[in-house]
Amino acid sequence: MSVQLSIQDLTKIYPTGDGVKNISVEVEQGELVTLLGPSGCGKTTVLRSVGGFIEPSAGSIQIGGKEVSHLPPEKRPSAMVFQSYNLWPHMTVFENLAFSLKLKKLKKKEITEKVSWALELVHLLGMEKKYPSELSGGQQQRIALARALLLEPQVLLLDEPFSALDAKLRHELREELRDIQANQNLTMLFVTHDQEEALSISDRIVVMNKGNIEQIAKPQDIYNHPSSLFVAQFIGRMNFLTGIAEGEKIQVGPMEFPNFNHLSGEITVGVRPEDVLLSEESGMEAKVEKIMMLGHYAEITLHTIIGRLKMFVDRGDMQKFQIKRTVRIHFAMIQSFDQENGQYDRRNQVI
């Protein structure tokens, strides 16, 4: 596949000293790549630089193989969907969508056909005569997305478009966005601080921290093989424990694991709650402190000699746990990190 968006050595430093430095990301045609990270990590700076709303201090931005760094937003083959819908309140839905098409001097029939196509794409046919104030937040965001699609951008940029919506609506809209992206073979650069959102819709995720890239990988690799302690802490739930690495073994309390990467000394061990499993006979003792029902699964809080642990179990197995009762557990998999630099032992250790 061809590279549709190429960002090379992008640098933007603000007077405060914050910003991004030497950011390089490539997005292929038809790929949805997400910039993920906490507030202030630089993800929106990268997105707005691509859109032309921020002028970088250095670096190159190419769309479709052409340098666009010198072009204003309206001259770039990109379109942006913002968190705020930015619809003109005095215009109907049809007028909001038709505005850019009229500037292109398209014929009235063609404008009507294109607007109908866009509204059908976002499941809002029949809303042409309504004003933005008559629409829900989710409907307004759909209209904002339809307006961006009508520009036929080579790259669609989305800046936390669903963050102002409730959880159920966010889930529905990101599913719809993914369907539209796949069906239309759109190239998208998506910004969010919501890890669940990033994991659910992305082809690849760029995890950012303090203006730098921590890791670029597919969602399953980000989750299963975090390249640093920061990524492990930021993506998903994880128990963090202290281990001792010596020779070929990693000692975590009474348990031993292979030391594939030859770490040494005191290390940090990460265990996903779903990788804490019941043992029939052997295993480490753990006292049940708390049971929380979370829908199709339950979160069990355990007290052990190596610290408090969270464990996820299927709701059908909840009867095996009672408050203050003792169970035996083992870890299906651990992830180990050098405490000095936070780097991950790239090979998962499986018992």
Q: Is 271 left (phi over 0), alpha (psi -120 to 50) or beta?
A: beta
Query: Does residue 206 share a domain with residue 69?
Result: yes
CA separation (Å) from 313 to 199, 273, 276?
21, 9, 9
pLDDT at 344: 57
CA–CA separation, 343 vs 211, rounded Å? 18
pLDDT at 260: 82
Return the structure tokens found at 258.
């292979």
166 class by beta-carbon count within 10 Å (0-12 exposed, 13-18 middle, 19+ buried) = exposed
Number of domains in the chain: 2
Residues 217/205, Cβ–Cβ less than 8 Å: yes
Query: Does residue 8 share a domain with residue 147?
Result: yes
Query: Does residue 284 share a domain with residue 158?
Result: no
Query: Does residue 158 share a domain with residue 126?
Result: yes
CA–CA separation, 159 vs 46, rounded Å? 11
Query: Does residue 318 share a domain with residue 219?
Result: no
Residue 75 maps to which CATH number? 3.40.50.300
CA angle 181/144/207 to nearest 5° reads: 55
Residue tagged 């960002």 (tokens): 7
Query: Does residue 284 share a domain with residue 194?
Result: no
Residues 214/207, Cβ–Cβ less than 8 Å: yes
Q: Final residue of a domain: which of 230, 251, 271?
A: 230
Phi, psi of 234 (to 5 degrees): -85, -30
Please, which residues have CB within 8 angstroms of residue 93's CB and are 6 or more apart in sequence?
A: 119, 124, 127, 128, 129, 130, 131, 132, 135, 143
Print pLDDT tens along the chain (351 aa): 699 999 999 999 999 888 999 999 999 999 999 999 999 899 999 999 999 999 999 999 999 999 999 999 999 999 999 888 788 999 999 999 999 899 888 899 999 999 999 999 888 999 999 999 999 888 998 899 999 999 999 999 999 988 878 888 888 888 888 998 998 999 999 999 999 999 999 999 999 999 999 999 999 999 999 989 999 999 999 999 999 999 999 999 999 999 987 899 999 999 999 999 999 778 899 999 999 998 889 999 999 999 999 999 998 888 889 999 999 999 999 999 987 656 655 444 443
pLDDT tens digits, 205-231: 999 999 999 999 999 999 999 989 999
pLDDT at 204: 97
Q: Final residue of a domain: which of 201, 230, 259?
A: 230
Q: Final residue of a domain: which of 200, 230, 260?
A: 230
pLDDT at 173: 86
pLDDT tens digits, 10-26: 999 999 888 999 999 99
Residue tagged 């018992």 (tokens): 351
Residue 343 maps to which CATH number? 2.40.50.140
Query: Does residue 254 share a domain with residue 181?
Result: no
Query: Does residue 247 share a domain with residue 120?
Result: no
